[in-house]
Structure 1
Amino acid sequence: MGRWEPGARERLVVAAVELFTEHGYDATTVAQIAERAGVTKSTFFRHFPDKRELLVAGQESLSALLAEGIAEAPADASALDAVASGLERASTMMGPANRDLGPRIREALAASVELQERDALKSVGMTAAMTEALLARGVPETVAALAAEMGILAFKQGYARWSEADRGDDDRLAPYALAALQDLRAAASALG
């Protein structure tokens, strides 16, 4: 496969996840990732500054979609209803390839503290985007922060359930993320 063929970024992510789970994050080099993806090291560095960034590819796009969904929620929507709108919008970005990579990404994350730290930073960025979108709607700061934290937790839980679920009629992420948010609402109300 030539380096000029489309999909280099996606191939790099898949190659990295495969190599991280086969050999471990620390033992995997950029050269190995590029070779597995069928591109040059230069092409790798055009897409990513380093190998840590591979597993958080798309963070900016997800954050933007979450914020757009929140902004476009009906004016009378509660903070969590607006978050649900953001989750629905962000879910449109996640397709079958994302679903198939889920278990392998979790395996790679579990084996590397460095990747866990980078994943945590990704979550912080996505939470910040949701918080800002909620504040722009006039949601009080504490409520916005809590709703955004619940949103990122729902996204993560929904993604985990979705990637492990049997393939069936509804292969979209949104129902899983929204169900996770509903579970979190119920859990929050049980706190007393």
Structure 2
Amino acid sequence: MESKGMQNARKMLEKLGWSEGSGLGLNENGITEAIKPSGKFDQSGIGHKTYNDFQWWDHAFNKAAQAFEIKVTDDQGAVVEKTKAIGKIKTKKGSSNLKQADLAYGVFHKTGTLHNGIIESKENTYELKEETDFSLKLSDEELFKLCNGLTAHKGARHGLTASGKLARIAKQEAALLASMNASDNKTPHQPETKRKKRNLPNLARMTI
């Protein structure tokens, strides 16, 4: 149900010749829907950009791995066969099938080939296509479990897991959590305030 203000605005536009579904302006080429503010419903911080979530290294590895097929034979062991072209490795999500050779200076000018004074150009239709994301969306716990407890610590390959440091951090977090719980359970203490007696004037001593 529209508000009273929207109803008044609709009536005013209809008096000026506007109809439902037509654009604003003299030529009716303006917007047909009101501008709505976009709401933020994710857990990301302010200024976070969604394209930073694209893990291109994971995507490139899995895409390259899917381009090969491993066949196990009895006499030769494992044979690796290339099933399809890997394509160009990209660090950003989204791609197109535009070729740089068909564009002048690598921008939006279509080029052609001059043959006997006649420019021959390819009549190809280009369209943007959405590339499949082959990267795995894993949480820190899932990644830690998948790597069998290995971390990026340089000494982890030699068995150094920094257990002492992790134990101290866990102890500090437990102490902080305990202090926070204690402060929440503690009732706020309000000091008692004594009311001061007002010195009322002695009516007997007052003279007119």
Classify the TM-score, shorter chain.
under 0.3
**TM-score, normalisation: structure 2:** 0.18
Q: Which has more radius of gyration?
A: 2
More strand by share: 2
Answer 1 or 2: higher relative contact order, Cα 8 Å, separation at least 6.
1
